[in-house]
């Protein structure tokens, strides 16, 4: 996989290297995940991993961090998923609405817990479910502890994806979520 997506991964690494890690611990973790010293060997090994679960379903990724979004798109495509992505809830709502109206809905959405300058991941999911009640959702976060993380199913998420993650973790989680029931939020 590293050779196939070398240009994209190198661009992500450069962006990570240009960032101030003192203020963004999740970016540093992501940088370490794809750093040249580790990334090339790990990625080749992961691509040949016998436990790797691929899929063909439609995935919407809602992630405001361009580094994380681009890296996750590479992983999802490598796993065989059809991917669309956006950086905010308004665009996600439009994408889901259009897909649903066309009769080509998404099988799952991966939503970041915190979208800069906008509503939270759980509010985005609530709006998306108004358009497509059968939409399965994964909460993605780099936070260590958070009330939503600890009770993500209460907010309607089927699963939790902690950053940083690798292709095996992502593939296995998607496989489990796509085969599961839609989580219903607990009424408040």
In this predicted model, what pLDDT tens digit does every residue of 57-88 receive, in sequence order?
Answer: 999 999 999 999 999 999 999 999 999 999 99
- Residue 151, domain CATH: 3.40.50.2300
Is 171 within a domain?
yes
Helix (H, G, I), strand (E, B) or coil at 105: coil
Q: What is the mean pLDDT of residues 88-107?
A: 95
- Per the model's pLDDT, the better-predicted residue between 50 and 120 turns out to be 120
Q: What is the mean pLDDT of residues 166-178?
A: 92
Stretch among 19-33, 40-54, 59-73, 102-116 having the lowest mean pLDDT = 19-33
Q: Please state, rounded to an integer, the average pLDDT across all residues of the chain.
A: 76
Residue 150 scores a pLDDT above 70:
yes
Is 93 within a domain?
yes
Is 79 within a domain?
yes
Is 13 within a domain?
no
Q: What is the tally of structural domains in the chain?
A: 1
Is 34 within a domain?
no
Is 123 within a domain?
yes
**pLDDT-based confidence at residue 103 (cuts at 50, 70, 90):** very high
- Per the model's pLDDT, the better-predicted residue between 6 and 114 turns out to be 114
**pLDDT-based confidence at residue 120 (cuts at 50, 70, 90):** confident
Q: Which stretches of the chain are DSSP H helices?
A: 6-18, 25-34, 36-47, 66-78, 89-101, 121-131, 147-150, 167-178
Residue 186 scores a pLDDT above 80:
no
Q: Give pLDDT, residue 19.
A: 44
> What is the residue range of 156's domain?
53-178
How far is 136 from 138, CA to CA, in rounded Å?
7
How far is 83 from 167, CA to CA, in rounded Å?
15
Work out the percent of the chain whose per-residue pLDDT is above 90. 49
- Per the model's pLDDT, the better-predicted residue between 130 and 180 turns out to be 130
Is 96 within a domain?
yes
Helix 6-18 to helix 66-78 angle (10° resolution) is 160
Is 39 within a domain?
no
Residue 173 scores a pLDDT above 80:
yes
Q: Give pLDDT, residue 40.
A: 33
Q: Give pLDDT, residue 3.
A: 52
Residue 42 scores a pLDDT above 50:
no
């Amino acid at each position: 996989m590293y050779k196939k997506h070398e240009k994209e991964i190198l661009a992500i690494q450069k962006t990570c290297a240009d960032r101030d890690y003192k203020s963004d611990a999740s970016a540093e973790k992501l940088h370490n995940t794809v750093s040249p010293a580790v990334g090339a060997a790990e990625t080749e090994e992961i691509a040949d991993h016998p436990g790797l679960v691929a899929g063909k379903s439609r995935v919407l990724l809602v992630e405001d961090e361009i580094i994380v979004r681009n890296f996750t798109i590479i992983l999802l495509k490598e796993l065989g998923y059809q991917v669309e992505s956006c950086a905010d809830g308004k665009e996600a709502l439009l994408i889901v609405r259009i897909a649903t109206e066309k009769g080509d809905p998404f099988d799952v959405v991966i939503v970041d817990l915190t979208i800069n300058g906008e509503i939270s991941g759980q509010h985005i999911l609530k709006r998306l479910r108004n358009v497509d009640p059968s939409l399965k959702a994964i909460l993605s976060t780099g936070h260590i502890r958070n009330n939503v993380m600890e009770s993500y199913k209460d907010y309607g998420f089927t699963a939790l994806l902690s950053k940083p993650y690798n292709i095996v973790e992502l593939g296995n989680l998607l496989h489990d979520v796509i085969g599961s029931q839609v989580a219903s939020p607990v009424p408040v």
